[in-house]
Structure 1
Amino acid sequence: MAEQVRRNPVPSLLTSLLTDHLDPGYAGAAAERSAQHTRASRVPVALWLLTGALVIGLIFGIALSRLASGAAAVDRAGVDASAAVRAAQNRSAELEATRDELSEQVAAERDRALESDAAGGELLDRLSAVESAAGIDSVSGPGLSVVVTEPTDARASAVRTGSGAAVLDRDIAAVVNSLWASGAEAVSVNDIRVGPNVTIRQAGGAMLLDNRPIGSPYEVHAIGPPQRIQVQFVVSDAYLRMSTVAQLYGIGFSVRPVDDLELGPAIVRESFEAKEAGPR
């Protein structure tokens, strides 16, 4: 009898690796998840939805309340700032009225003191000429009125300046300078006398004359011989400029003679004079 060949038994671990491709632990976990998915939920779905809706509503409510409180604070700050500006404007108007009243009293006392003799009268005439040249006295008489207005179409303003104003500070300055060159003896813009050291500036969409805001329509009044001023003004570069701007952007521009104009005094400011320095 032939001797039987002894074979090595196949290890059980190797057999399981060849036959079972998935670890039993993974299969158990998958079965547990399936059992949990099929198990009835203890909390109804409607209750979860209601709770979520309440939480979301609470969050939105808090956000809206904070937004409303912030807007209210901004509104209060705006109201307070507007009130402060109005109070400052009223105070400035009161001070200007007091200054004008005191100036009139000083001028009356000065005139009374200087009219007593010939030397005083001569000095008074010289002072009157200087005051007239400086624009610190009220004047009246015939003249020319130039009115410049903003266009009614806001798109025209945006095309020219990119802001809410189409009339520029250099437009008003050009008109004022041209009226002076045409023979005007006194000029005002929106009842503000244009005197020495008075500037016309623009800050954003606001027009400032002597650091005081002015708005459309811009009424430029010039006292002097109406015929002569008008004839010279209509052939000036400023007239050509404003006529072109009026046609392109719809800006209002009109010129007319006026029989009786009255301009108030200009604000008196300190003037400085430069002198040549002597040898050291």
Structure 2
Amino acid sequence: MCGMPQQPPVRSSPARPRRPDASMSLITNVMDHSLDDGYAEAAARRKSLGEGGLPKTLRAKLGLAGGLVLAALVVTVGASQAHVTAPVVAKERQELIDRIDRETAAADKLESGVDRLREDVGARQRAALRQTGGSKADLVSLLSGATAVHGPGVKLVVNDAKEASTGGDGTNPRESAGFSDTGRVRDRDMQRVVNGLWASGAEAVSINGQRLTALSAIRAAGDAILVDNRPLVPPYTVLAVGDGRKLSTAFQNSADGLYLHALQDNFGIRTAISAEGDVRLPAAPSVIVRTAQPSAEQAEKTEKGTS
């Protein structure tokens, strides 16, 4: 009997025991993984967006600290530079002050030289007049201001108001005429004073030692009054040679004297006038006096006419 070949017996592996919680796979998954996957996904997402792993509050504090450090560094560097440049600035300032002082001294020296030259020219002119004209030339030089003069006269002092204003509202006549400060003496005021003294009989007039002539000009430059381009400062002392009492009375009763009195009443400008027994006025600088002489032809016609 032919028998079929026998095959080795097949060993079956023992079956894996079934988990008791196999029917609760959802709960098992939650318990095994908990929330770790969610945190991992969030961290990966922040990393892909370029965000750090630090909390926002911590990042803000670190940023603030960095900004404060940078600001402190800037302030420190600025203070250091200022400390270094301070001596340089002080040196430049002192050099500028020294230069101003030198230029001021040079200008004063030049002005003194000009004054000496004017006095020399005036002396030479007076000597030439005496040599050519005698007493008539002396009278001409006296009236023209070319020589110094003294004698009885008046002394008139005009000064700004005690509390001179620095501006006006445009409601007074002085301001509408171009005066922005109603408490200050202006060039037009001094023009009227001088013209009033001439009209009242003054033979010679000076302001603050500056002799006035027929060619003199009283002008304004800002708040300063110029007499022949020389600035004067208040109080303005006006000396006039003449009959003291008559000159004083005539001036105060004139229109210009009443104008000065109105300035005193309305704007507080201070004035004082007095008769003096002797006032001294200097000669005007660089006055050229010329006298007319008849020509030979005119002199001949005159002689024929008289004969």
**Which residue identity lines up with residue 206 of structure 2 in the other structure?**
S
Q: CA deviation at 1:260?
A: 0.8
Note if contact 2:166-2:181 (Cα within 8 Å) is conserved in structure 1: yes
Equivalent residue, structure 2, for 1:128? 138
Equivalent residue, structure 2, for 1:266? 284
Equivalent residue, structure 1, for 2:69? 50
Equivalent residue, structure 1, for 2:167? 158
Q: Where in structure 2 are the equivalents of 1:1-280 lying within 5 Å?
A: 33=51, 35-38=53-56, 40-41=58-59, 45-46=64-65, 48-56=67-75, 58-59=77-78, 77=96, 80-81=99-100, 83-101=102-120, 103-104=122-123, 107-108=126-127, 111=130, 114=131, 123-154=133-164, 156-159=165-168, 161-162=179-180, 166-269=184-287
Q: Distance in 1 between matches of 2:58 and 2:162?
A: 72
**Which residue identity lines up with residue 167 of structure 2 in the other structure?**
A
Q: Distance in 1 between matches of 2:114 and 2:93?
A: 31
Note if contact 1:146-1:219 (Cα within 8 Å) is conserved in structure 2: yes
Could you tell which deviates more after superposition, 204-213 or 92-101? Answer: 92-101
% identity of equivalent residues: 26
Tell me the matched-pair count: 237
Q: Distance in 2 between matches of 1:128 and 1:226?
A: 23
Provide the aligned C-alpha RMSD in A. 3.8
TM-score by length of 1: 0.69
Deviation per CA, 1:115-149: give whole Å up to 9, x if none: xxxxx6xx312211221221100100010111111
Q: CA deviation at 1:229?
A: 1.1
Q: Distance in 2 between matches of 1:184 and 1:61?
A: 72
Note if contact 2:156-2:272 (Cα within 8 Å) is conserved in structure 1: yes
Question: 5+ unaligned residues in a row in structure 1: which ranges?
Answer: 1-26, 115-119, 273-280
Q: Distance in 1 between matches of 2:227 and 2:84?
A: 44
**Which residue identity lines up with residue 266 of structure 1 in the other structure?**
A
SS at match of 1:124: helix
Note if contact 1:151-1:251 (Cα within 8 Å) is conserved in structure 2: yes
Deviation per CA, 1:246-279: give whole Å up to 9, x if none: 223222111111111010111234589xxxxxxx
**Cα distance, 1:221–1:140 mapped onto 2, change above 3 Å:** same
Q: Distance in 1 between matches of 2:223 and 2:254?
A: 27
**Cα distance, 1:136–1:75 mapped onto 2, change above 3 Å:** farther
Could you tell which deviates more after superposition, 202-211 or 92-101? Answer: 92-101
Considering only CA atoms, is the larger Rg found in Structure 1 or Structure 2? Answer: 2
**Cα distance, 1:86–1:193 mapped onto 2, change above 3 Å:** farther
Could you tell which deviates more after superposition, 135-144 or 162-171? Answer: 162-171
Q: Distance in 1 between matches of 2:265 and 2:90?
A: 43
Question: 5+ unaligned residues in a row in structure 2: which ranges?
Answer: 1-44, 169-174, 291-307
TM-score by length of 2: 0.63
